[in-house]
Structure 1
């Protein structure tokens, strides 16, 4: 079931036609019965793969799989693995299978695990910063050729392909309108056509659109996000939509669910390939360290939380000291069951396909650490950069580790 206020009011608006969309037959608001049956009839005819995963929980490594090998996944009993690949010339090897995220996912696939690859199009920062390629432009033609190279390497070898990573954050602010919609709809139709030419739904790779951010903020619920969800609903070949609820509370994560789930067709589901309480952690980085922790471990009681984390990055703590830091930090300890609670909320909708949670403290989380650094480093299952390995080389673990394992048995 959905949490809090239902999304039925939004469903009618999200599925109503706009000047940017073709109007389904008989539609004057929410889709008519005949239009809805037409959509689902197409899906039943094999446009979207059947047998979607149901409430699975996997490991996410984003762009950096370094250190997350078969042994680490086995220790977690993980059956699903997700990463993303920037679709830019500078990020892709001539042989796509050698790109580190793609290589890691193909290796996981070879080991019998299920895999998710998100295609990232970074136009808001870095060397590719600039406007989105326009329809029919040489720039778009080149980009689609690059997409084809990725598809040739992964189609049928990843279980889920997500078209987009965080589109509304990875596009220039002034283009986060119908310009963004046209670009991603063009990409989606291209990917769908490529898959159709290479086995269609029978290829074994399901297609999702993703991922939406900041849906707990009403200002992020724009005509462009509504058009995004309409497009997903009206495209039979798409299995659903991805969300990234990085939030301050479970209540704010519920706002994502209540906004998105009512827009899905009955045969569609959602992904949550990233999720965390990182915005809540951010609010507490300037807090003083716990007096109990300071006393037990001879730490200056005037040090702040971000400074103690920095100490652990510079010289990793023994596992016991890290455990004390977590348990004696009251605001963290009271959320130690977050992973279990969030997965219950996702699964209670009956519409979750797969959620994936951060696996390792990757290099970018620890680099240039200071008071303003977003504390992604508190999220992952392994505390490999803040806890020293034990005598047999086993990586340090975070508070979520055993919850993740237990949740594999209840999904």
Structure 2
């Protein structure tokens, strides 16, 4: 049972409304008598690999009660997983009264999947046996996988991928039953599926993935990552997963964005009005303005003026609100988490071909000047993110 449930959306009719977390302000655990498998419709903060950048003041400022990140399984070989910053931070965050999601990342993009029964698989399961005691009964959601159809060799995105993740999932299920009991607070999801808006991603392996989710009682549902080139593309994800799940299952959206739409506009010229006001040459491309903000962070006013001067950006100003309305409107959303904070990988070697993940962020420490006392500059999405927490 979930002891720290932040947000409740009881029906599909209420799913499109906004909600307030019960724990984000005071950090006090709240007892509830429903498992996470019900459709709560929460919106939380996603940190990916950057849980060490978490600042509780910024979580409180955003009014969120949910935090998500991932743990790379090879890090288990470097020492006690409980001491790794990702697991240490996520469990401390849970202890402070926030609800938490941890995805287990299996990066096989440069190596073959181990076969079930092999020594390599035994080694992978031994890693799990080190990680699971540190997180089971502490985090609210454990997602088995991060982005399996990306973090794998293209040639092995077939039954070999399925066999690996199914073996891992059964091991996690057995371990949870034996060591955490039937009342374990940690629920299990399989994740995450990408680019289901593209027909060539709806493969036999994706079908088998969904069949395993549906046919495994201990799995609460599936995670999706709709990073998309247009807002309407998100519907294809829902059209694919919902008919393939049990009626009692829900879904996570632990990452979502318009990053591929933003990228198409990096070489657009910035407006003459903005260029003239802030000393850029006429026709300066958008990516060079972003690079200038990375090199010397803008004031919040200048950053806001830059985004407001870009019609391709302002035309999508309702993206966060509209996407949450779509997901909540299904009556099946458990939790969605949105990119919370710019990180160093987003700004490294920034240029016209770089995916502009930094435009998604709720807080913008790399392109907006600090507000002092270590507080990050505010990004464009904070007001909508905060409003979406309210009932």
- Give the TM-score of the pair, scaled to structure 2: 0.89
User: Secondary structure of the equivalent of 1:203?
Assistant: coil
Q: How do residues 35-114 of structure 1 correspond to structure 2 at under 5 angstroms? A: 49=35, 52=38, 54-88=40-74, 90=75, 93-114=78-99
Matched, 1:228 2:214: no
On the 8 A contact 1:337/1:400 being kept in 2, the answer is no
Separation in 2, partners of 1:98, 1:367: 27
On the 8 A contact 2:42/2:336 being kept in 1, the answer is yes
| Deviation for aligned residue 1:374 | 0.6
In structure 2, the partner of 1:159 is 140
In structure 2, the partner of 1:400 is 381
Gaps of 5+ in 2: 1-11, 13-33
In structure 2, the partner of 1:183 is 164
Map Cα deviations across residues 206-250 of structure 1 (whole Å, 9 max, x no partner). Answer: 000000001000010000001100110000000000000000122
Runs in 1 of length 4+ with deviation above 2 angstroms?
Answer: 48-53, 90-93, 390-394
In structure 1, the partner of 2:226 is 245
Map Cα deviations across residues 329-373 of structure 1 (whole Å, 9 max, x no partner). Answer: 111011112101100000000010000001110111011112211
On the 8 A contact 1:68/1:359 being kept in 2, the answer is no
In structure 1, the partner of 2:17 is none
Quickly say closer, same or farther: Cα 1:136–1:308, change in 2 above 3 A: same
- Give the TM-score of the pair, scaled to structure 1: 0.85
Tell which structure's C-alpha radius of gyration is larger.
Answer: 1
Separation in 1, partners of 2:301, 2:182: 49
Aligned length: 359
Separation in 2, partners of 1:51, 1:63: 25
Separation in 2, partners of 1:294, 1:92: 50
Separation in 2, partners of 1:248, 1:299: 28
Map Cα deviations across residues 147-181 of structure 1 (whole Å, 9 max, x no partner). Answer: 11110100011000000000000110111001111
Separation in 2, partners of 1:312, 1:106: 34
In structure 2, the partner of 1:11 is none
| Deviation for aligned residue 1:301 | 1.7
Matched, 1:267 2:248: yes
Separation in 2, partners of 1:103, 1:73: 17
| Deviation for aligned residue 1:52 | 3.5
In structure 1, the partner of 2:280 is 299
Separation in 1, partners of 2:191, 2:36: 20
Q: How do residues 303-318 of structure 1 correspond to structure 2 at under 5 angstroms? A: 303-318=284-299
The match for 1:368 among 349, 353, 356 is: 349
Q: How do residues 270-349 of structure 1 correspond to structure 2 at under 5 angstroms? A: 270-349=251-330
Q: CA RMSD in A?
A: 1.5
| Deviation for aligned residue 1:199 | 2.7
